[in-house]
Amino acid sequence: MPGIVRSDIRNIAIIAHVDHGKTTLVDHMLRQSGTFRENQVVAERVMDSNDLEKERGITIMAKNASVHWRDTKINIVDTPGHSDFGGEVERVLSMVDGVLLLVDAAEGPLPQTRFVLRKALEMSLIPIVVINKIDRQDARPAEVLDEILDLFIGLGASYEQLDFPVIYAIGKLGIARTSLEDKSENLEPLLDSILKHIPAPTVETEEPFAMVISALDWSDYVGRIAVGRITIGTAKVGDFVNLIKPDGAKENARITKMYVYEGIARVETETASAGDVIALSGFENVYIGETIANSARTEPLSYVNIEEPTIAMYFMVNTSPLAGREGKFVTTPKLRDRLYRELRNNVSLRVEDSDSPDVFKVSGRGELQLAILIETMRREGFEFAVSRPEVLFRRSEDGSLLEPIEHVTVDVRENYVGTVIEILGRRKGEMTAMNPGLDSVRCEFTVPARGLIGFRTEFLTSTRGEGIIHHTFDSYQPYKGPISGRSRGALVSMETGPATGYALEMIQERGVLFIEPGVSVYEGMIIGENAREDDLSVNATRTKHLTNMRSSGSDGIIRLEAPRRLSLEQCIEFLEDDELLEVTPENVRLRKKILDTTMRQRAKKREAATL
In which element (H, E) is residue 257 found?
strand 257-262
Using CB under 6 A as the binding rule, whether residue 472 contacts ligand GTP is answered as no
- Contact pattern from residue 51 through residue 70 relative to ligand GTP, giving x for each residue in contact according to CB under 6 A and a dash for the rest: -------xx-----------
Q: What DSSP letter does each residue of 387-404 carry, written as one string?
A: E--EE--EE-TTS-EEEE
* Interacting span for ligand GTP (CB under 6 A) from 12-20, 255-263, 305-313, 348-356: 12-20
The CB density around residue 31, as the number of other CB atoms within 10 Å, is 18
265 DSSP β-pair partners: 262
Dihedrals phi, psi of 171, to nearest 5 degrees: -55, -40
Least gap, CB of 219 to Mg ion (angstroms)? 23
Question: Contact with ligand GTP (CB under 6 A): which of 6, 10, 22, 378?
Answer: 22
Q: Indicate the DSSP class of residue 247.
A: T
Q: Closest Cα to residue 276, out of 197, 211, 207?
A: 211
103 DSSP β-pair partners: 131
Q: Indicate the DSSP class of residue 484.
A: -
Nearer to ligand GTP, 133 or 378 (CB): 133
Using CB under 6 A as the binding rule, whether residue 571 contacts ligand GTP is answered as no
Least gap, CB of 160 to ligand GTP (angstroms)? 26
How many residues bind Mg ion, per CB under 5 A?
3
Using CB under 6 A as the binding rule, whether residue 170 contacts ligand GTP is answered as yes
Using CB under 6 A as the binding rule, whether residue 21 contacts ligand GTP is answered as yes
Q: How far apart are the first and last CA of the chain?
A: 66
E-assigned strands of 105-222?
126-132, 166-170, 175-177, 202-203, 210-212, 215-219
Nearer to ligand GTP, 114 or 592 (CB): 114
Using CB under 6 A as the binding rule, whether residue 322 contacts ligand GTP is answered as no
Least gap, CB of 24 to ligand GTP (angstroms)? 3
Residue 172 interaction partner, one of ligand GTP, Mg ion, none, beta carbon < 5-8 Å per kind: ligand GTP
Question: Contact with ligand GTP (CB under 6 A): which of 86, 87, 171, 454?
Answer: 171
- Contact pattern from residue 121 through residue 160 relative to ligand GTP, giving x for each residue in contact according to CB under 6 A and a dash for the rest: -----------xx-xx------------------------
Q: Indicate the DSSP class of residue 353.
A: E
Residue 524 interaction partner, one of Mg ion, ligand GTP, none, beta carbon < 5-8 Å per kind: none
Distance, CA of 589 to CA of 581 (rounded, Å): 6
* Interacting span for Mg ion (CB under 5 A) from 17-25, 86-94, 148-156, 475-483: 17-25
Question: In the bound complex, which residue of the shown chain has the CB atom lying closest to ligand GTP?
Answer: 81
Using CB under 5 A as the binding rule, whether residue 22 contacts Mg ion is answered as yes
Using CB under 5 A as the binding rule, whether residue 23 contacts Mg ion is answered as yes
In which element (H, E) is residue 377 found?
helix 367-379
The CB density around residue 531, as the number of other CB atoms within 10 Å, is 13
Nearer to ligand GTP, 78 or 582 (CB): 78
Q: Residues 179, 193: contact at Cβ < 8 Å?
A: no
How many residues bind ligand GTP, per CB under 6 A?
21
Nearer to ligand GTP, 16 or 92 (CB): 16
In which element (H, E) is residue 73 found?
strand 72-78
Distance, CA of 74 to CA of 88 (rounded, Å): 20
**Helix (H/G/I), strand (E/B), else coil: 549:** coil
Distance, CA of 393 to CA of 290 (rounded, Å): 29
Kindly give, in sequence order, each residue whose CB lies less than 8 Å from that of residue 15, ignoring residues fewer than 6 positions away. Answer: 22, 79, 81, 89, 99, 100, 101, 102, 116, 117, 119, 120
Using CB under 6 A as the binding rule, whether residue 176 contacts ligand GTP is answered as no
E-assigned strands of 245-372?
250-254, 257-262, 265-268, 271-273, 277-281, 291-294, 311-316, 350-353, 359-364
Nearer to ligand GTP, 16 or 330 (CB): 16
Using CB under 5 A as the binding rule, whether residue 24 contacts Mg ion is answered as no
Residue 133 interaction partner, one of Mg ion, ligand GTP, none, beta carbon < 5-8 Å per kind: ligand GTP
Residue 584 interaction partner, one of Mg ion, ligand GTP, none, beta carbon < 5-8 Å per kind: none
Applying the rule CB under 6 A, the residues between 77 and 106 that interact with ligand GTP are 80-82
Distance, CA of 284 to CA of 253 (rounded, Å): 9
Distance, CA of 354 to CA of 41 (rounded, Å): 49
Nearer to Mg ion, 29 or 212 (CB): 29
Which positions touch ligand GTP (CB under 6 A)?
16, 18-24, 45, 58-59, 80-82, 132-133, 135-136, 170-172
